[in-house]
Every structure is written in structure tokens, then in C-alpha cells.
A and B are shown apart, each in its own frame.
Chain A
Amino acid sequence: AQSVTQLDSQVPVFEEAPVELRCNYSSSVSVYLFWYVQYPNQGLQLLLKYLSGSTLVKGINGFEAEFNKSQTSFHLRKPSVHISDTAEYFCAVMSRVTGGGNKLTFGTGTQLKVEL
């Protein structure tokens, strides 16, 4: 079964500083990878995705992620964070399921707290 590990449960960072949120996955087949953001009392918003092609993926709000197959990682980065980036970030891997369906398996989330 595929799994996702988010190594940091909380990441505090000062405004305008760079940040990296780490994500490692386990899979023996080709993967689709995603980062979602959840603001307080809201749903999950898609930040970016890797389906194939370039290993550097750019998303919304200035975020980007790099797919590294040899290290089975998909770390999320932003060169300069803003207070409004304070939220919980989830890494997810898509897998096929018997019956022709699919599902997302999520990590436990990383709470990004941006401070002045």
C-alpha cells in the first residue's frame, strides 16, 4: 500500500523567509503527487500536482515542489512566505484501486505558522 510521510508536524517561520515542507512517499509504481492547503475552517485547496514531465512543478501563491524519484520525495518550497500562508499543508499520493477506481492517501499534515 502506498503511504505518505510528512516529517514535520509544525514549521514556524518568519515572514519573508524561505520555507520547505518535506514529504516522502512509498510506492513501487509511477505516482501522481499532490500538495493541498487547508486554511482554518475551510476545505482543501489544490496547490500543485505532479503527474508526469518536468520534475519541478509550479503552483499557486508562489509555491513550487520538486519530484525526486530516487529519494521518493516531493518537497514543497516557497522562497518568501507571507502571513497569509499560515495554514495546514497536506501532501498526497494517488493510487489505483481494484475495480478501476482511485484514491488519495494523505500525509498527516504540516502546520505552517508564519510570524512577523
Chain B
Amino acid sequence: DSGVTQTPKHLITATGQRVTLRCSPRSGDLSVYWYQQSLDQGLQFLIQYYNGEERAKGNILERFSAQQFPDLHSELNLSSLELGDSALYFCASSPRMDTQYFGPGTRLTVL
């Protein structure tokens, strides 16, 4: 158990819908990262927040957005969902700018 929690564990929705994935970092970690894991793209970095501020952006679609709240939990919002958005979404947290600890992931299925 890494100490990073993610909810929900599974999410099934339809194309065109909007969903929110939630992540609680390890106690004391200020950095939160989001990654997407899919069969065709592998593990891809989406976005990083540090103490509430966006710090790095990767291959994140414009339909996706994220935020980190004052209590340091983070949410990833995915809208206008397409079949190709089906994937495992991981959150990771880090106490410093080095080691990232991953949560168990949210499996999103878009039908």
C-alpha cells in the first residue's frame, strides 16, 4: 500500500459524458501527478500539481482538466468522453521532486 488513494476503482460511462476521478496523496506530499495507461499509448504523463499550482503539463487533451485543492487532494475531470479515453488512470504523489508513489488506479470504460 503506497498511501495514495484513488476513487472510484472502476467507472463505466457512455460516450459524450463527463466524469471526475479523485486522488488523495500520501500524508505530507505536496506534489500530485496524473498518468494514463492504455494498451496503445502505454503509460503517459498528463499533468502535475504542486501545492495547488499547476507545474507541468504533458499529453493532456483539452477535454481533460485537473485541479489540486487546499487539502492537497486532486481531481481529474474528463469530458466529452470518447471510446479511446478508456484506460487506467493513475495518480502519484511525491514529497520532493524525485520519487513518485502511485495509487491503485481508476479503470475507466467508455461504452
What are 26 pairs between A and B in contact, CB < 8 Å? A32-B98, A43-B90, A43-B105, A44-B92, A44-B102, A45-B2, A45-B102, A46-B100, A46-B101, A46-B102, A49-B98, A96-B97, A101-B48, A101-B50, A101-B97, A103-B33, A103-B48, A103-B56, A104-B35, A104-B45, A104-B92, A105-B45, A106-B42, A106-B43, A109-B42, A109-B43
Q: Which residues of chain A have a CB within 8 Å of any CB of chain B?
A: 32, 34, 36, 42-46, 49, 51, 90, 94, 96-106, 108-109
A105 to chain B, nearest CB (A): 7
| Known contacts A45-B102, A94-B98, A109-B43; 10 further A-B pairs (Cβ under 8 A) | A43-B90, A43-B105, A46-B99, A97-B48, A97-B56, A99-B54, A103-B56, A104-B43, A105-B45, A106-B43
| Residues of chain A with a CB closer than 8 A to B95's CB | none
- Measured between alpha carbons, how far is A44 from B102 in the docked complex, in Å? 6
| Residues of chain B with a CB closer than 8 A to A104's CB | 33, 35, 43, 45, 92, 100
Q: Which residue of A lies closest to B50 (CB)?
A: A101
- Measured between alpha carbons, how far is A109 from B43 in the docked complex, in Å? 9
Say yes or no: is B25 at the interface (Cβ < 8 Å to chain A): no
- Measured between alpha carbons, how far is A48 from B1 in the docked complex, in Å? 16
Contact of B56 among A36, A51, A101, A106 (CB under 8 A): A101
A93 to chain B, nearest CB (A): 11
A9 to chain B, nearest CB (A): 11
- Measured between alpha carbons, how far is A32 from B94 in the docked complex, in Å? 14
- Measured between alpha carbons, how far is A34 from B99 in the docked complex, in Å? 8
